[in-house]
Amino acid sequence: MKMGLIAAAIAIGLAALGAGIGNGLIVSRTVEGTARQPELRGVLQTIMFIGVALVEALPIIAVVIAFIVLNK
């Protein structure tokens, strides 16, 4: 049981770290693209929101996996 708790904590922590880095990269590249071509702001923002949503799915999946590990 103790190893399951450690595995769950590591899974959630690494997923949160990865999502934070991923979101930072996505937003920074969007700001950079908007600075270069302001007329594409709407298109870039839409793509950014889709990318952020996909990246945020990772921690949610990690939490589900952590719950599965804890219930075994």
pLDDT digits (tens, 9 = 90+) for 20-62: 999 999 999 999 999 999 999 999 999 999 999 999 999 999 9
- pLDDT value, residue 2: 84
Q: Which two tokens stand for residue 50?
A: 């889709």
- Give Cα 44 to chain centroid, integer Å: 18
- pLDDT value, residue 69: 86
- Give the whole-angstrom CA distance, residue 22 versus residue 68: 25
**Region of 37 on the Ramachandran plot (φ > 0 left; ψ -120 to 50 alpha; else beta):** beta
pTM, two decimal places: 0.82
Q: Counting beta carbons within 10 angstroms of the beta carbon of residue 62, is it exposed (0 to 12), middle (13 to 18) or buried (19 or more)?
A: buried
- pLDDT value, residue 50: 96
Do residues 70 and 8 touch, judged by C-beta distance below 8 A? yes
